[in-house]
Amino acid sequence: MSLTPTKMRSIIEGLLYLTGEEGLLLDQIAKVFPDAPEPSIREILEKMKRDYEENEASGLMIVEIAGGWRLVTKPFMATYAEQFAAIPKMTPLSQASLETVAIIAYRQPISRMEIEEVRGVKSEKALHTLMAKGLIKEVGRAEGIGRPILYGITPVFLDYFGLRSLEDLPPLSEAVKDPGERPDEVDLLYNRYKETVKEWSDDNAEQATGEAK
Amino acid sequence: MSLTPTKMRSIIEGLLYLTGEEGLLLDQIAKVFPDAPEPSIREILEKMKRDYEENEASGLMIVEIAGGWRLVTKPFMATYAEQFAAIPKMTPLSQASLETVAIIAYRQPISRMEIEEVRGVKSEKALHTLMAKGLIKEVGRAEGIGRPILYGITPVFLDYFGLRSLEDLPPLSEAVKDPGERPDEVDLLYNRYKETVKEWSDDNAEQATGEAK
Amino acid sequence: MEYKVKIDAFEGPLDLLLHLIKTLEIDIYDIPVAQITDQYLQFIHHMRQLELDVASEYLVMAASLVAIKSRMLLPKPELPDEEPEDVYEDPEASREALMQQLLDYQRYKEAAEALKENEKSRMRLYTKPPSDLSQYGCADAALMPVSKRATVHDMMHALQQLIRRKIGREPLHTKIAKQALPIGKQMQAVVSVLKNTRQPVLFSALFPYSDRGQLVVTFLALLELMKKNVIACRQEENFSDILVSLEEGTDEFDPNEDAFHY
C-alpha cells in the first residue's frame, strides 16, 4: 500500500521533529518510504519548506544545511529564544579566525605558513580556535622540508555557516591578473621578505614567551 | 506595542518546538508576553492544539498535562519512528554518547551527576553504551554523600579515536569549560582601545588627504 | 603561542595598508609608494608614542616600504648584461608584488565578511535536541563497528552542539528549580486538568516533569486536595495505576481561597 503525499508529509514532519538539530538526510527519509521515488520526497520537502516559510502563524521553518534537512525556528524567533534563555549568545568568530577559515575553505589543503603569507600575520591562535570549534581539521602533511601540517575544513564548517555544500560558499572575487607570471625578482624579494618576517616574528614570539614566564 | 494573535501563535509554536518533550508551563509562556492576559494565551494554545489535531498533513500534536504544554509526535508516528530508528546511523556513536564521552575525556574523573549538569539531560543510557563499548570505565568513587561512581576513559578510547595520548585531544574552547562565561573586563578594555585607535587613524588619514590636495 | 601584541582594529600590516589606501582614496593598482610609506610610518610612530607594543609584522612591512621608497628615488644602476638579474631589486617589481599581495589579501578579507554574514544568520536559527529514540527500540550496537568509526572531530562537533543546546535550555531547568512553585497554584493546575478531561486521570500523567521540585510540589498538592476532599484517588489492585478523579460537587472549588495559599 502506498502512502498519500499528505500522509508522507505528516511522517516527514514527525521525523524532522524527532531528529531536531541532528537533521535528516534525504536517503534516511527514503528508507522510511521504500516505495516512494526520491524526487517525490524532495518535492514534499520543498513544498513543506515553502509552506512553513509563508505561514505567518508559524514560528518554524525548514532549512537544508550540509545535506541534512532540519526544522528550526525562524530568525525572528531568536530574540524570544534568547530572551527565554537569558544566557549570553554564542560568541561569533573573531576577524582573524574568519579570515583564516575563509582562506582554508577556498584553498584547502593549505599549510599554516601559506595562510600566514596571505594574511601577513601569525595565525596560530586562529587555527587553534578553529580546531577547537571543529571547523577545520588536519588533512595530511605537505611534501618538503618539515612536512608541514595541511589543514582543510570539516562538515561542521558547513553547518556553522549554514551552507548546503561547499558550492554554496560566497564566490571569491576575481583572482589577480596573471598571478603566475610574476617576474622572478619579485618572488625573490617576496621570499626574502617572508623569511625576514619569519625570523623577526619568531624572535618576537620567543621574547614574548620569555616575558610571560 | 502588543502582538497580534497570529504573531503570538508563531512565537509559542517556536518555543514549544525548542523545548520539545520537556514542554513549557503556561507561566513560562506568559513571561514572554508580559502584556497579554493569561486566558488569551491559553486560548491560542487551545486553538493551536485543535489545529494540529485536525491537520492530517502534520505529524505533530500538542498535549497539555498538569499545566505543561508540549509539542510531540502523533501516536501513529511510533511505527515510523521505529522504522527510522532501525536505520543504521551516520555516526556509529550517537550524539548523546559522543557528548558524554567527550565530557569524560576532558574532565575525568567525573560523576554521572556532573556529566548531567554539563549536558543538561539524563545521561544514564549514554554511560551504559560507552561502558558496553569499553570506551569508559569506573575509576573510583567520589567523597561525600552517596559516594557516586566516578568515570574515566580507557585505552580503548584512545585507540578508537586514533589518539596517542590524551594530550592529542584538541584544545577545548572556553565555552565548554564554562558555558556561562561572559566577556571579561579585558575584552571590554580592548574594544574601547580599538575604537580610540580607529578614530585616531581616521583623523590622521583625513588630515593627510587634506594635505595632499 | 601567539604573542599578546596586536595593534588595534587591524589584522596586520596588510589590513592596515588596505585601510590607508581606502581612506586616502588611493588607486590600489597604482600605489604611490612615497605617500603610503609616510602614512604608514606615521601611524606606527603614533602607536609607539601611545606606548603600544607594535607587532613585528608591522615593523617588517615598514622596513620593506622604506626600502622600496628609497630605491625608487635612486637612478637605476647600469648593470653589465652578464650580471645575474636578481642582484638588483627593481622597485617597480617590488611595488607590483606588494600590490598583488594586497589584492590577494583583500579577496579573502571580503570572503571573511561574507562568511560573517552567514555566521550571523545561522546563529539566529535555533532548534531542539534530537529526541531519545531508544523507546522505539534503537539500541546502540553492543559491538563497535570498525568501518565507521566516530572521529575526534565528531566528538568536538558534539560538544559544539551541546553548547548551542545549553544556550536554549539551561535556564529552563534553573527557572523551574528556583521558582519554588506554590502548592496552591499547583492545586489549581491539577484541578483544572481534571475538570478539562472530565474523567479519571492516571496518577503518573500528573507528573510530566522530571524536575524534583516540581514532583514534590505536585505530590503535596495532591495530598492537600485529597485532604480537602476535592479529589479522590482509586487503585483497583495492589501496584496497579492510581486513578485520580474529581469528587462530586467540587465545581465550586475556589482555588483562590486563602486556605490554599502556602
Indicate whether B90 pLDDT > 80. no
Under an 8 A CB cutoff, do C158 and B102 touch?
A: yes
pLDDT at C251: 59
When pLDDT is cut at 50, 70 and 90, the band that residue A145 belongs to is confident
Alpha carbons A49 and A62: distance in angstroms, whole number: 5
Indicate whether C114 pLDDT > 80. yes
The pLDDT > 90 percentage for chain A reads: 48
Pick the residue with more confidence: C125 or B1? C125
Alpha carbons A213 and B182: distance in angstroms, whole number: 27
When pLDDT is cut at 50, 70 and 90, the band that residue B173 belongs to is low
Indicate whether A45 pLDDT > 90. yes
Digit-coded pLDDT (tens) for A204-213: 444 444 443 3
Alpha carbons B20 and C227: distance in angstroms, whole number: 35
Please tell me which of B172-176, C69-73, C153-157 the model is most confident about, judged by mean pLDDT.
Answer: C69-73
When pLDDT is averaged across residues B157-164 and rounded to a whole number, the result is 79
pLDDT at C17: 93
Under an 8 A CB cutoff, do C23 and B201 touch?
A: yes
ipTM: 0.65
- A149-153 vs A136-141, strand pairing mode: antiparallel
| Residue B142 near residue B148 (C-beta atoms within 8 A) | yes
When pLDDT is averaged across residues C237-252 and rounded to a whole number, the result is 68
Calculate the dihedral angle through the C-alpha atoms of C198, C199, C200, C206, rounding to the nearest 10 degrees: -50
Q: Any chain A CB within 8 A of the CB of B15?
A: yes
Residues from chain C that touch B103, judged by Cβ atoms under 8 A, are 159
Record the cell numbers describing residue C248, joined without a space: 462530586
Per this entry, what is the length of chain B? Answer: 213
Record the cell numbers describing residue C129, joined without a space: 535536541
Q: What is the mean pLDDT of chain C?
A: 72
Under an 8 A CB cutoff, do A121 and C13 touch?
A: yes
Nearest to A11 among B80, B173, B180 (CB): B80
pLDDT at B57: 95
pLDDT at B207: 46
Indicate whether A104 pLDDT > 50. yes
Record the cell numbers describing residue B95, joined without a space: 550524539
When pLDDT is averaged across residues B135-160 and rounded to a whole number, the result is 87
Residues from chain C that touch B105, judged by Cβ atoms under 8 A, are 155
Number of Cβ within 10 Å of residue B101's Cβ equals: 27
Q: What is the mean pLDDT of chain B?
A: 78
When pLDDT is cut at 50, 70 and 90, the band that residue C74 belongs to is confident
Digit-coded pLDDT (tens) for B192-204: 334 444 444 444 4
Residues from chain A that touch C93, judged by Cβ atoms under 8 A, are 183, 185-186, 189
When pLDDT is cut at 50, 70 and 90, the band that residue A107 belongs to is very high
pLDDT at C84: 53
When pLDDT is averaged across residues A113-125 and rounded to a whole number, the result is 93
**Which of the listed CATH numbers 1.10.3720.10, 3.65.10.10, 1.10.10.10, 3.40.50.300 matches domain B95-208?**
1.10.10.10
Distance between alpha carbon C68 and the CA centroid of its chain, in Å? 44
Q: What is the mean pLDDT of chain A?
A: 81
Record the cell numbers describing residue A166, joined without a space: 561547499
pLDDT at C199: 77
Record the cell numbers describing residue A59, joined without a space: 514560528
Q: Any chain C CB within 8 A of the CB of A172?
A: yes
Indicate whether B102 pLDDT > 60. yes
Nearest to B182 among A12, A60, A88 (CB): A88
Indicate whether B104 pLDDT > 80. yes
Residues from chain C that touch A31, judged by Cβ atoms under 8 A, are none
Pick the residue with more confidence: C168 or C44? C44
Record the cell numbers describing residue B63, joined without a space: 498535549
Amino acid at A36: A
Indicate whether B131 pLDDT > 70. yes
Digit-coded pLDDT (tens) for A170-203: 888 765 444 444 444 444 444 444 444 444 444 4
Pick the residue with more confidence: C113 or C159? C113
Under an 8 A CB cutoff, do A133 and C123 touch?
A: no
pLDDT at C176: 36
pLDDT at C166: 54
pLDDT at C218: 75
Digit-coded pLDDT (tens) for C116-135: 999 999 888 888 877 877 66
Residues from chain C that touch A124, judged by Cβ atoms under 8 A, are 1-2
Nearest to B60 among A13, A57, A131 (CB): A13
pLDDT at C241: 64
Under an 8 A CB cutoff, do C8 and B193 touch?
A: yes
Domain B5-77 adopts which CATH fold? Answer: Arc Repressor Mutant, subunit A (1.10.10)
Pick the residue with more confidence: C116 or C197? C116
Pick the residue with more confidence: B188 or C226? C226
**CB < 8 Å from B in window 58-87 of A:** 58-60, 71, 73-74, 77, 80-81, 83-84, 87
* Domain segments of chain A as ranges: 5-77, 95-208
Task: Tell me which of A34-43, A106-115, C183-192 is least confident.
Answer: C183-192
When pLDDT is averaged across residues A112-118 and rounded to a whole number, the result is 95
| Residue C166 near residue B179 (C-beta atoms within 8 A) | yes
**CB < 8 Å from A in window 99-138 of B:** none
Q: Any chain B CB within 8 A of the CB of A10?
A: yes
When pLDDT is averaged across residues B132-155 and rounded to a whole number, the result is 87
Domain A5-77 matches domain A95-208 at the CATH topology level: yes
When pLDDT is cut at 50, 70 and 90, the band that residue B92 belongs to is low
Alpha carbons A7 and A118: distance in angstroms, whole number: 54
Digit-coded pLDDT (tens) for B179-190: 343 333 333 333
Alpha carbons B105 and B157: distance in angstroms, whole number: 9
In sequence order, the β-bridge partners of residue C243 are C202, C234
Distances from the Cα of A148 to the Cα of A78, A113, A145, A188, A206, angstroms: 42, 8, 8, 22, 20
When pLDDT is averaged across residues C72-76 and rounded to a whole number, the result is 78
List b or e across B11-22, with b for residues whose CB sees 16 or more CB atoms inside 10 angstroms.
bbbbbbbbbbeb
When pLDDT is cut at 50, 70 and 90, the band that residue C5 belongs to is very low
| Residue B27 near residue C209 (C-beta atoms within 8 A) | no
Under an 8 A CB cutoff, do C208 and B23 touch?
A: yes
Indicate whether A37 pLDDT > 60. yes
Pick the residue with more confidence: B128 or A69? A69
Pick the residue with more confidence: C191 or A161? A161
When pLDDT is averaged across residues A75-91 and rounded to a whole number, the result is 73
pLDDT at C110: 92
What predicted TM-score, i.e. pTM, was given to this entire model?
0.62
Nearest to B9 among A22, A31, A57 (CB): A57
The pLDDT > 90 percentage for chain C reads: 15
Indicate whether C170 pLDDT > 90. no
Alpha carbons A168 and A64: distance in angstroms, whole number: 12
